[in-house]
Amino acid sequence: TCGDCKVHTFTGPGTFTVSCAGNALGSDTVNYLVVAGGGSGAGHAPGTSSSFSSGGGGAGGYRASGYGPSPLRGTALTVTATAFPISVGAGGASCTSPSGNAGNPGSNSVFSTITSTGGGAGALGNNTGGDDGGSGGGVSAYSAGPANPPGSGNTPPVDPPQGNNGGTMGAFPSRGSSGGGGATAAGTNNPSGNDGTGGGAGAPNSISGSPATYAGGGGGGGWNGSTPGPGGAGGGGAGGQSSNGTAGTANTGGGGGGSGPINVVGGGGVNVGGAGGSGIVIIRYKFQ
């Protein structure tokens, strides 16, 4: 309980059961926070791509009512006396394939009619664009021309929007990468250079009774000897520099950080992107 309200927090699957749809001193509506799992950052395996850093993962989709920044507040849900299954999305896993190390998307979180989409994966250096999702994944430069596009956020579209795009990246010979998008901001653009840029900021929300920030994007990896991008506020993991990316924080939907490159092109070893942080569902209502 929190004053005249009850708060239910789900960090894994469960059921929210309504036995009575309100009374004179309570309410028949509930406020919610539904955050999906964040996407993982991309990594590096030996080969051509190992001379480039990799993009940060996008944050899991963020949907809320009653609490948090007003532009992102949806409408409270009217409930009936029934059971509502809850799904809490897992973060995208790091990929450790010896032949490639692209990121993985996060999984959706669901409460009633509210679905938040998993965050988009970060892009493998010198390879593909970032994935679309709740927030989009970041990208790296491309040796054959302009960088591929970052992932698009708010995919599929909802209103208010559930997330933002990954950051853009300038053309080769830049070897840095950009961060994934977050709930309140896109990943930071990287017009040129070898540094990684930061993940987009998440959204503050006090629905639990304590202030916290959710759904920050993962930072982009930095090229050898350069600075990696920081994770966005709200659980985003930092990028790596000749090293693995940092994982997003559990139960925030933060995106994982993109890795830095292998020190020697074609050399041995694998650098992995940080895993995405798992999501969360919080439900709050007035009962007296």
Residue 10: what are its φ and ψ, rounded to 5°? Answer: -115, 120
Give the span between the Cα atoms of 32 and 43, in whole angstroms: 34
Give the span between the Cα atoms of 185 and 134, in whole angstroms: 12
Strands 5-10 and 280-286, sheet pairing: antiparallel
Residue 80 one-letter amino acid: T
Residue 71: what are its φ and ψ, rounded to 5°? Answer: -65, -20
Tokens of 242: 């000749």
Residue 248 has, within 13 A of its CA and on its CB side, a CA count of 58
Write the burial class of residue 80 (CB in 10 Å: 0-12 exposed, 13-18 middle, 19+ buried). Answer: exposed
What average pLDDT does the segment 261-279 reach? 78
Residue 31: what are its φ and ψ, rounded to 5°? Answer: -95, 155
Among residues 214, 248, 245, the alpha carbon closest in space to that of 229 is found at 245
Cα→Cα distances 78→64, 167, 280, Å: 14, 37, 21
Mapping DSSP to helix (H, G, I), strand (E, B) and coil, where does residue 71 land? helix
Q: Which residues pair with 77 in a beta bridge?
A: 30
Instruction: Tell me the pLDDT band of 143, cut-offs 50, 70 and 90.
Output: confident
Q: Rg (Cα) of the chain, in Å, rounded?
A: 19
pLDDT in tens, 93-104: 997 665 557 789
Give the span between the Cα atoms of 178 and 273, in whole angstroms: 13
Residue 157 has pLDDT above 70, yes or no: yes
Give the span between the Cα atoms of 73 and 96, in whole angstroms: 38
In this structure, is the dihedral angle defined by the CA atoms of residues 287, 204, 62 and 253, taken in order, positive or negative? negative
Strands 73-74 and 62-65, sheet pairing: parallel
- For residues 259, 265, 270, 274, the Cα torsion angle rounded to the nearest 10 degrees is 10
Contact criterion met (CB below 8 Å) for 254 and 179:
no
pLDDT in tens, 65-117: 999 999 999 999 999 899 999 999 999 999 766 555 778 999 999 999 999 99
So what's the pLDDT on residue 47? Answer: 57
End-to-end CA distance of the chain: 11
What average pLDDT does the segment 146-163 reach? 94
Mapping DSSP to helix (H, G, I), strand (E, B) and coil, where does residue 283 land? strand
Instruction: Tell me the pLDDT band of 174, cut-offs 50, 70 and 90.
Output: confident
User: Which of 12-21, 55-64, 229-238, 255-264 shows the lowest mean pLDDT across its residues?
Assistant: 255-264
Give the span between the Cα atoms of 57 and 130, in whole angstroms: 8
